[in-house]
Amino acid sequence: MKMTMETLFVDIGSNSIKSLLADFRGGKLVAVADRSEHSRISSPEGLKPDAAQIIADAVNSLCRRSLKNSDKFDVFCFGTSALRESKSANAVLSGLEKSGIEIRVLSGMEEAELSFEGATGDSYLNLLPDSSVVYGDLGGGSMEFVSRQNSKIIGMDSLPIGAVRLTNSFTKNGELDRAGLKDRCASLLKRIPRPNGGFKLVVAGGALSAARFILGNGEICEKREISLEDFGFCLNLAEKLGAEGLSEKFGTPKNRGDILPAAFLCLMEVLKHFEAPFMVHTQISLRYGVANAYFKYGKTLKKI
């Protein structure tokens, strides 16, 4: 069993690098501070040439910012699709390790399982152990899914439909190929089983936070249930205003505004596939699941 102390968990994604400063007390995860750096390491060709420097700068910044909350903490960094798929990932990881930054790269199945575990801790969702649920987490490079029928997992997968990946793959001459993007998402979503009877559709990801900022006119709206109509409204505004206009009007990060149309189109296909009237947004996801596993099992994140 790991000796507990406050730990900074750094999630290195394709489009952003986020952190959770947390502790484990009385058998429960205690979140101290949740932060984000708007750092994109992926490009149409894979990792950016300066990905290692972007990661190092973000990790150092998040560590400095966390000193406002704690003067002593461990640091555990982990990476997702960009660092498990790019041909240059090994060189980037090796260079960072030499500089003192060690990164545990999650497999797609680990990412799905740990993200779902994190979401189950969101009290708003009221996910009982025997609740039927489909959970999704939309990132920059991939979207992870877990389907549970009552208490049994009936499906778990990592699909290559992240918002950055879709934007890069379906942007031609500055225009987004909406039909092609929707067809790709619809085809891949067939791999995710739908539980029988009633179930909750729960989704995490920065695109849903952005949608709630747009729906709240620059303030994150209290409503966490987002419908097809809501996403359609957000999509029209995102395409009309562009990244710059979205940032000025709603405060969305400029480095995320360009991928929002692809993200919204993808999420609309998710709603259609599961024939759901809305999806419930959770902001408690992968970092929280990784933190739980780390405090229980150490750096392997697995029970041995």
The reply to whether 86 and 193 lie within a common domain is no
The reply to whether 201 and 75 lie within a common domain is no
Phi, psi of 185 (to 5 degrees): -65, -45
Domain assignment present for residue 195? The answer is: yes
The reply to whether 223 and 274 lie within a common domain is yes
Domain assignment present for residue 43? The answer is: yes
Residue 227 has pLDDT above 50, yes or no: yes
Residue 263's nearest CA partner among 83, 128, 143, 101 is 143
Residue 97 has pLDDT above 90, yes or no: yes
The reply to whether 48 and 191 lie within a common domain is no
Angle at 234 between CA 10 and CA 287, to 5 degrees: 15
The reply to whether 24 and 167 lie within a common domain is no
The reply to whether 239 and 271 lie within a common domain is yes
Residue 255 has pLDDT above 80, yes or no: no
Segment among 2-6, 45-49, 186-190, 196-200 with least mean pLDDT: 2-6
Domain assignment present for residue 1? The answer is: no
- For residue 27, give the CATH number of its domain: 3.30.420.40
Q: Which residue has the tokens 């439909």?
A: 161
Q: How many other CB atoms are there within 10 angstroms of residue 217's CB atom?
A: 9
The reply to whether 133 and 260 lie within a common domain is yes
- For residue 253, give the CATH number of its domain: 3.30.420.150
Q: Which residue has the higher pLDDT, 285 or 257?
A: 285
The reply to whether 136 and 170 lie within a common domain is yes
Summary count for the chain: helices (H), strands (E) = 11, 15
Query: What mean pLDDT is reported for the chain?
Result: 95
The reply to whether 252 and 130 lie within a common domain is yes
CA distance 82 to 93: 11
Q: Which helix (H) or strand (E) holds 140?
A: none
The reply to whether 100 and 163 lie within a common domain is no
Residue 185 has pLDDT above 90, yes or no: yes
Q: Which residue has the tokens 């575990």?
A: 117
Antiparallel, parallel or unpaired: β 103-105 and 200-204? unpaired
At 304 the pLDDT is 76
Structure token pair of residue 78: 């982990």
CA distance 6 to 248: 37
pLDDT band with cut points at 50, 70 and 90 for residue 295:
very high
pLDDT 10s digits, 25-34: 988 999 999 9
Our CA dihedral for 78, 82, 88, 92, rounded to 10 degrees, sits at -30
pLDDT 10s digits, 228-239: 999 999 999 999
Residue 1 has pLDDT above 60, yes or no: no
Residue-range definition of the domain harbouring residue 79: 7-107+286-297
Residue 3 has pLDDT above 60, yes or no: no
At 4 the pLDDT is 60
Residues 200-226 have a mean pLDDT of 95
The reply to whether 102 and 28 lie within a common domain is yes
CA distance 137 to 158: 9
3-state SS assignment for residue 36? strand
Alpha helices by DSSP H, the chain: 51-66, 81-85, 89-98, 108-119, 163-170, 178-189, 206-215, 228-250, 254-257, 260-273, 286-297
Residue 66 has pLDDT above 70, yes or no: yes
Residue 261 has pLDDT above 90, yes or no: yes
The reply to whether 59 and 12 lie within a common domain is yes
Q: How far is CA 253 from the centre of its chain?
A: 15
